[in-house]
Amino acid sequence: MELKASQMEFTVAIDGPAAAGKGTIARALADKFGFAYLDTGLLYRAVAAKGGDPVQAAMGLTPQDLARDDLRTLAAGQAASRVAAMPQVRAALTAFQRQFARSAGGAVLDGRDIGTVICPMAEVKLYVTSSAEVRAERRWRETGGDLAQVLAEVRERDARDMGRADAPLRPAEDSVLIDTTELTIEQAVDLACAAVLARFPERTIP
């Protein structure tokens, strides 16, 4: 039976360290292919920002929690990576992410463990990275403050995310590596689009 693009399930998993450009690539793919987009980092940021017991916060997360305007700060990112190391917090957020990944018409999710743990069967897996210096400078342009401190925080968060026991950040074996250190946004998005197109069944290209 021929599937229409609007009916099919198609998951793009994007992982990588802080400020590598995952969100920019994910939004571009969502726009171009009509995929639903979930920024999974926002879930962990919202859990940490809610305060109280992180496991309870994760189990009771609401759309309003995700709409707070203080989730993008450096401090919120650091707090997120602390609660993200707790296996029960991760477990409480798994079902929602897996369900989202199977949205009709396709979905793109970005995070740290999407291709390795949440969606190991994803049709496309991208690992987006770049040097810590370049990532810190990009984040510093968004947040301001002291560049050296932003770099230190990026390194600290990378170490925590890569070193934790549960769902550590690492490339899935079958992921396509996109190193954005010397790429423009357009070049990085083009590589990501090519990886998606390579996996689209011929008759479903929108």
Indicate which single residue of 33, 44, 100, 140 sits in contact with ligand CDP (rule: CB under 6 A). Answer: 44
Q: How far apart are CA 86 and CA 165, in angstroms?
A: 9
Residue located via tokens 């994910």: 26
Q: Which of residues 162-201 bind ligand CDP (CB under 6 A)?
A: none
Q: Give the interface segment with ligand CDP, choosing from 25-33, 50-58, 110-118, 123-131 (CB under 6 A).
A: 110-118
Residue type, 123: E
Span between the terminal Cα atoms of the chain, in Å: 17
Is 21 a binder of ligand CDP (CB under 6 A)? no
Least gap, CB of 85 to ligand CDP (angstroms): 7
Least gap, CB of 167 to ligand CDP (angstroms): 7
Question: Are the CB atoms for 114 and 107 separated by under 8 Å?
Answer: no
Indicate which single residue of 112, 119, 125, 129 sits in contact with ligand CDP (rule: CB under 6 A). Answer: 112
Strand spans (E) along the chain:
11-15, 36-39, 107-111, 124-129, 176-179
Residue located via tokens 């940490």: 48
Adjacency order of strands within the sheet including 36-39: 36-39, 107-111, 11-15, 124-129, 176-179
Is 153 a binder of ligand CDP (CB under 6 A)? no
Is 54 a binder of ligand CDP (CB under 6 A)? no
Is 18 a binder of ligand CDP (CB under 6 A)? yes
Site string for ligand CDP, 69-108 (x = CB under 6 A): --------x--xx--x------------------------
Q: Give the interface segment with ligand CDP, choosing from 38-46, 50-58, 60-68, 174-182 (CB under 6 A).
A: 38-46
Is 41 a binder of ligand CDP (CB under 6 A)? yes
Least gap, CB of 183 to ligand CDP (angstroms): 17
User: 194, 197, 159: which is closest to 178 by C-alpha?
Assistant: 194
Taking the CB of residue 147, how many other CB atoms lie within 10 A of it? 14
Indicate which single residue of 21, 54, 111, 115 sits in contact with ligand CDP (rule: CB under 6 A). Answer: 111
> Could you give the C-alpha distances from 97 to 110, 153, 177, in angstroms and in order?
10, 27, 23
Q: Give contact residues for ligand CDP (rule: CB under 6 A).
A: 18-19, 40-41, 44-45, 77, 80-81, 84, 111-114, 157, 161
